[in-house]
Amino acid sequence: MSSKKQKKFISLIFDNFENLQKKEISDKKKKKELPIFSDGETISGTVIIDQKHNKKQIIEKIQIQFIGQIRMLYEKGTTHDFIKITKNLNEKNKIEIHQEYTFNFQNCQMKYESYHGINAKLDYLIRVIIQKQSKTDTQDFKIWVNNIKKAPKKNDSIKMEVGIPNSLDMRIGIEKSKFHLLDVVLGEVSYLKVKIRLKYMEVSIIKREVTGTGTIIYTESETLTKFEIMDGSVVKGEKIPIRFFLESLNITPTYQNIDNKFSVNYYLNIVLVDEENRRYFKECEIYFFRNSLDSKNKKTLFSKSFFEFSQK
Amino acid sequence: MSSKGSDLTKRKESVLTPRIEQETLLQELKDKIQRSAFDMRKFLEDEQTILVLIKTTEMISELRTSALSPKNYFELYSFLLNELRNVESYLDEQVKTGLSAQELYKVVQFTGQVIPRLYLLITAGSVLINTEEVPIKDILQDLNKMCRGIQHPTRGIFLRYYLTQMVKDKLPDITTQNSEMHGTVEDSINFIISNFIEMNKLWIRMQHQTPFGNLSEIGKKYVHTMLGKERTELGMLVGTNLSRLAQLEGVTVEIYSQNVLPLILHQIIDCNDKIAQEYLFVVMIQAFPDEFHLETLETLLKSLEELNPNVDIKEILQELMQRLVIYFKTNRAAENQEHKIFTTFSDSISRISQKKVLKQTDLLIILRCLLQIGFSLNLNRIDYVDYVFQSAFRLLNNEIIKQDDSNVVTQMIQEVIQSYNNVIVLIEIESFPHLTNLLPLAEQRKIANNLIENVLKSQTIIEEIEKLQRFFNLIQILLNHPINQNDLQFDSDFQKEQSALCKVIHFFYSDDIEKYFLIFQLLIKELNGTGKVRMKNYIFPLIFSGLKLAQKMRENERNKSEFSISFNQLFDSISTILENLINFFPEVAFKLFLQTAQAANKCRLEKVAYEMMLKAITIYGDVFSLRETQFKMLFSIISTLFTLNYIGNEYFSFLAVQCAIHSKKLVQPIHQAKAICCCSRFFYLQDSLIPTNSLENSQNQKRSIQFHDDKKLVGCLSKAIRIASSSIEFPVSLESLFEILDVCLIFFETQKTNINIEYINTLIELIIQVKEKNQSQPQVLFPQNSLVFINQMIRKFIKKKKGEKKEIYLEINFQKLKKTFN
């Protein structure tokens, strides 16, 4: 993020910032817009050191780093840098009051996406380090990484026949198992045998974040939405359509064992509730991938705010 | 599949609540909608689309209730509908000014609850159709499919009803623009039918998904009854689809029979639900034009047979047939179609009847409808009527047990009578009497009377013996039903029916003698032996029929026609009938013998006439000689005898003497005198001398035979004078004598008898003597009218002295007579 208005000691301007896609995040209760980069892109820009309001100090060395790091929230501050590239910005000792340095990280490796979960956080940042005689100043500038994946060649449909012996037999069919983030989940629930009185049926999307290794494993489950798809007591032979717009959710792609630290998986859960309020459910994993950057196809204000209400 | 016992989101599931609670609840829900609607309208004015949608969702959420009865739910729905229409037109406007209808269609699907989501989707779909951005077919299909999310019967039916209401005016038809976006009428048909099928499924499910909860048995029963009732009310919403389908111009008879009907029927049959099948079949019949039903009649009727056995097919058939009857009144079926239509119905009914799923009465009602169909198709086809009657006869299996059945059969028969209004046609219906005979006595009589009335009214003459026989078969009951003798006087119906029957007999004759004779024989066969009470009525028309035949034979004889039957045969028959009657109704027999005698005379059957007279005299002798009416009876004989101008002298003399003998035997002397005096005239019988009053019936006949027996003539007169002067009281005796004198003068004028001047004068003297002898008794009052009569006679006599034959009166002293009575 640039700091033009408020003169800071260290600020950074990404090249072509205005034209970059942005990701809005909230960091320490403040809303920020981060530039979005993808794996293999070059990150370049200008670092500005402004000493106007500071005492003129002797700067020994200015370094700039490209860092990819994972932080486990339960580990309190420990970070694991899975990538770190360091470059020196100045060779001389002399420094002006206002000095600008261009930097350039060619074809950065950013195979993981940025992720802010419950227990795990994956961030990419540009760190500026100024070594002085007495102390070292560092400033981090976050970027956001989204990686567009090609649609998987193999995308099997989901077919499940489930039931309760002698009282319920149903077939759940979902057209595919892998979805891009603005995709629509389409399917159908066919009832082959119904001997109980159902009250309603809903689908929910469950996000499961698994962190840790070995014996210490933390699993956080989060129901992202409950979406009622059927009202009333169904009978044999009926086919209930499922149509669910993922667009209405805040989801990430499925992350599988990121740097051996964490995984994020999504599940489609079909829940039946009978008249005695007994719940029956069937869960199956679905995979999400990104086929466009977040801000492309950005939800219109119209649909977004309606969605927010409709989920209440 | 896993299960968890507890649930946080508890929904209030329905158990029908009492009426007052229902009303309170309805009001509460309405208030909630009202509040949301108030906000909604505000946002609507500010064009805050998002907020409008949010408030609309809130409103629709109230339709999620399960606690309302279908009727109250309908009210809630209607209440909401007004608001939804506002929303729709608002969104329509918004779309015109830039809002993406497709985006709208997508976004409303984000809604978490299924009911608000689908109501909004339909609303958005309706807006989307207007934009013509997406083929209407796709939108309709999508809406139809998504609505499957509501499986609750009431809520589902209402949702789909909303769907039909919203797209009602947007459905493509042949009259609308035809393009990819607008779609074709087939799209509309497919949409409506699939929506119909889904609604029907939900509707049927209501019956089986009763929210029993913990109700007692009685409670369950109550709920069941209530549901059945309210379910029936919801049928209207299901039926809307069929009405809309029928309104499509593009649903031609070809499309209907090939594409529409099979689908509808399949659904109706498949659902196997009594209420639905009954209701929908009738709606279908009412919604589509009659031409369509005619075109698909066979399919329609066959499918009826496949319905649930509890379905009241009668109602459905009745509806269909009655409609067609009305239709045929203004639209004649093509001639080559008529028979096919009738047999299609009759075959179907016969199959239904064999299945024995319908009550007998219901089958009869259907047969009655079939009869009306037959009438409306072609009244000339009496084989249709015959078919229906035969079917009814077979159905009843030789007996009628129930009142209902007999009512229907009676109505049926009466309709036939009224429709044809012609007995000649009716009697051609072979099975008519068979069916009628199954009815209770009273009904049979009613029908027989109807037939008779019909003949009388239309003045139908029946000449063919076969037809007449059939007619008698039809009215047989009137000739033989048991009569309660004691009650007869009160049974005015009986009297009426018998007198009508008597009247009707006069319509059975023919100008063809041979035919007429057969008719007469048939009449004898049918009427003779029907018992005393009836015979008393029938005898007159029966005998007169015979006599009329005789007259016709005589008329034809002049034309020198020859017949295989003789007069003797005919009169023998008549005579036999009358003789059988003597014991019961001597008076009737007596009169009819006299009538027959006259008829025979006209036919110049001397001997027959003689025999008939003889029979009459015998009856008189056996039965009436002791009765008060004897004088009147005897005078009938006497005056009849005067008219018998073809009886030869020998027979005549014998009959005249018989009359004279009986005259002397009369009880009252005055009658004796009158009768004998009258008889005297038999013995000098010339054309000019036949008493005028007896000539009335034989105006143009001249007596061919002259008869003169002077001895008997004088004998009679002398006997009369003797009786008058000695046995009759004064002053009546005088009147008698004057009458005798009057008769004597007739013979005197001829100058050919022994009644000569001396005889007359002696009689005058006798009158004077009688007068004078009694004048000495002053206590005897001379009645004024006697005096008037006598004076008239005297004036008449005196006149003769100045008349044509005045010379023969020269020596007769009328003046003295006049003097005596002055």
The separation between the first and the last C-alpha atoms of chain A, rounded to the nearest angstrom, is 34
Looking at residue B581, its pLDDT comes to 84
What pLDDT score was predicted for residue A306?
Answer: 52
Residue B8 has pLDDT above 50, yes or no: no
Q: Which two tokens stand for residue B795?
A: 């004036």
The pair of structure tokens assigned to A102 is 């261009």
CB contact under 8 A, B209 and A197: yes
Please state, as a whole number, how many other Cβ atoms lie within 10 Å of the Cβ of residue A158. Answer: 16
d(CA B524, CA A277): 91
Instruction: Answer whether residue A51 shows pLDDT above 80.
Output: no
User: What is the DSSP code string of A230-257?
Assistant: EES---TT-EEEEEEEGGGS-----EEE
Average pLDDT over residues A50-76: 80
How many angstroms separate the CA atoms of B771 and B768, rounded? 5
Contact B50 A306 (CB under 8 A): yes
Q: Which pLDDT does position A131 carry in this prediction?
A: 83
Q: Do A235 and B205 touch (CB under 8 A)?
A: yes
Residue spans per domain, chain A: 10-145, 158-308
Per-residue pLDDT at A62: 86
Contact state of A278 with B11 under an 8 Å Cβ cutoff: no
Share of chain B above pLDDT 70, in %: 90
Average pLDDT score over residue span B729-746: 85
pLDDT band at B788 (very low <50, low <70, confident <90, very high): confident
Give every CB contact of residue B466 below 8 A, 6+ residues apart in sequence.
none
Please tell me the distance in Å from A243's CA to the nearest CA on chain B: 8
Give the pLDDT confidence of B764-786 residue by residue, as tens digits. 888 888 888 877 666 566 677 77
Give the per-residue pLDDT at A301: 44
Chain B residue with CA closest to A246: the answer is B110
Answer whether A303 sits within 8 Å of B106, measured CB to CB: yes
Residues of A in contact with B204 (CB under 8 A): none
* pLDDT surpassing 50 at residue B6: no
- Does A145 score more than 90 pLDDT? yes
Q: What is the CATH number of domain A10-145?
A: 2.60.40.640
Over residues A305-310, mean pLDDT = 49
Which element (helix H / strand E) includes B748? Answer: helix B732-750
From the list B11, B148, B153, the residue facing A239 with the nearest CB is: B148
Contact A310 B112 (CB under 8 A): yes
pLDDT-based confidence at residue B486 (cuts at 50, 70, 90): low
Which residue from B9, B155, B205 is facing A231, i.e. has the nearest CB?
Answer: B155
Q: Are A240 and B54 a contacting pair at CB < 8 A?
A: no
Per the CB < 8 Å rule, is A306 touching B153? no
A199 min Cα distance to partner chain B (Å): 8
Residue that wins the pLDDT comparison between A295 and B781: B781
Asked if A226's CB is within 8 angstroms of B205's CB, the reply is: no
Measured between beta carbons, the chain B residues lying within 8 angstroms of A229 are 114, 149
pLDDT at B217: 64
- Candidate from B5, B149, B151 with C-beta closest to A278: B5
Are the Cβ atoms of A309 and B151 closer than 8 angstroms?
A: no
Structure tokens at B278: 């009954």
The answer to whether the CB atoms of A302 and B103 lie below 8 A apart is yes
Identify the residue whose tokens are 């409950």: A226
**A287 half-sphere exposure, CB direction, 13 A CA radius:** 15
Chain B contact present for A223, CB below 8 A:
no
At A2, the pLDDT band (50, 70, 90 cuts) reads very low
**Count of CA atoms in the C-beta half-sphere (13 A) of A245:** 18
Query: What number does CATH give the domain A158-308?
Result: 2.60.40.640
Rounded average pLDDT over B516-545: 86
Interface test with B, best of A184, A310, A311 (most B CBs within 10 A): A310
pLDDT tops 60 at residue B17: no
Asked if B50 lies within 8 A of A309 by C-beta distance, the reply is: yes
Tell me the C-alpha distance between B716 and B727, whole Å. 16
Of B251-260, B348-357, B699-708, the one with minimum mean pLDDT is B699-708
Cβ(B357)–Cβ(B306) under 8 Å? no
Q: Which two tokens stand for residue A302?
A: 């119209």
Question: Which of B57, B103, B205 is opposite residue A310, by nearest beta carbon?
Answer: B57
Q: Which residue of B has its CA nearest to A248?
A: B110
In this prediction, residue B14 carries a pLDDT of 45
CB contact under 8 A, A229 and B150: no
How far does the CA of residue B184 sit from the closest CA of chain A (Å)? 26
Q: Is the pLDDT of residue B160 over 90?
A: yes
Contacts of residue A216, Cβ cutoff 8 Å, sequence gap at least 6:
none
Give residue-wise pLDDT tens across range B488-497.
555 677 888 8
Average pLDDT over residues B804-819: 80
Question: Measured between CB atoms, which of B13, B108, B148 is closest to A240?
Answer: B148
Does position B305 have pLDDT exceeding 70, yes or no? yes
Q: Does A73 touch chain B (CB under 8 A)?
A: no
Residue A305 is nearest to which of B7, B50, B150, comparing CB atoms? Answer: B50
B151 → closest Cβ in A231, A282, A312:
A231
Residues on chain A touching B99 (C-beta within 8 angstroms): 302
Contact B110 A303 (CB under 8 A): yes
Assign B268 a pLDDT band (cuts: 50, 70, 90).
very high
Q: How far is Cα B586 from Cα B580, in angstroms, rounded to an integer? A: 10
pLDDT at residue B219 above 90?
Answer: no
Q: List the one residue out of B359, B362, B381, B276 whose CA is nearest residue B321.
A: B362
Q: Which of B7, B109, B149 comes nearest A273 by C-beta?
A: B7
Alpha carbon distance B771, B763 (integer Å): 12
Compute the distance between CA of residue B773 and CA of residue A49 in angstroms, rounded to an integer.
Answer: 190
Q: Among partner residues B10, B49, B110, which is closest to A248 by beta-carbon distance?
A: B110
| Residue A99 tokens, joined | 């000095």
pLDDT at B700: 46
Chain A residues lying within 8 Å of B117, measured CB to CB: 228
pLDDT at B785: 79
Q: What are the residues facing A36 on neighbouring strands?
A: A144
> According to the model, what pLDDT value does residue B190 have?
93
Check residue B774 and give its pLDDT: 76
Please write the tens of the pLDDT for every residue from A154-205: 999 999 999 889 899 999 999 999 999 988 999 999 999 999 999 999 999 9
- Convert the pLDDT of each residue in B624-651 to its tens digit: 766 778 888 888 898 888 888 888 888 8
B539 touches B588 (CB < 8 A): yes
Model pLDDT for residues B327-367, shown as the tens digit of each residue: 998 888 777 888 899 999 999 999 988 887 788 889 999 99
Instruction: Note whether B405 and B363 are within 8 A (CB).
Output: no
Minimum-distance CB partner of A277 among B10, B112, B149: B10
Nearest CB neighbour to B149, from listed A226, A241, A278: A241
The answer to whether the Cβ–Cβ distance between A233 and B151 falls below 8 Å is yes
Sign of CA dihedral A166, A172, A177, A179: negative
**Taking CB atoms and an 8 Å limit, are B4 and A278 in contact across chains?**
yes
pLDDT given for residue B210 in this prediction: 56
Contact B152 A233 (CB under 8 A): yes
Yes or no, beta carbons of A300 and B156 under 8 Å apart: no
The domains spanning A10-145 and A158-308 adopt the same CATH topology: yes
Residue with tokens 């025999």: B611
Q: Closest to B54 (Cβ–Cβ): which among A164, A273, A309?
A: A309
pLDDT digits (tens, 9 = 90+) for A4-32: 444 567 889 999 888 888 888 877 778 88
For B15, name the nearest residue in chain A, comparing CA atoms only. Answer: A275
Inter-chain residue contact A300 with B109, CB threshold 8 Å: no
> Does the structure show a pLDDT above 60 at A214?
yes
Confidence of residue A57 (pLDDT cuts 50, 70, 90): low
pLDDT of the residue at B696:
44
Across chain B, which distance is largest between two alpha carbons, in Å? Answer: 153
What mean pLDDT comes out for the span B575-591? 87
State both tokens at B496.
Answer: 């009426």
Chain A nearest C-alpha distance from B258 (Å): 27
- For every residue of B140-196, DSSP letters joined together read HHHHHHHGGGB-SHHHHHHHHHHHHHHHGGG---TTS--STTT--HHHHHHHHHHHH
pLDDT of residue B220: 63
Classify strands A184-194 and A22-27 as parallel, antiparallel or unpaired.
unpaired
Strand, helix or coil for residue B339: helix
Give the Cα separation of B95 and B106 in Å (integer): 14
Find residues 179-208 of chain A whose CB sits inside 8 Å of chain B: 197-200
Return d(Cα B415, Cα B226) in angstroms, integer.
41
Chain B: closest CA distance from residue A234 (Å): 5
Tell whether the model's pLDDT for residue B126 goes beyond 90.
yes
The answer to whether the Cβ–Cβ distance between B3 and A227 falls below 8 Å is no
Please give, rounded to a whole number of angstroms, the shortest distance from the CA of A193 to a CA of chain B: 14
Q: Which of B107, B141, B209 to mutate to test the interface with A (most CBs of A within 10 A)?
A: B107
Q: What is the pTM of this model?
A: 0.75
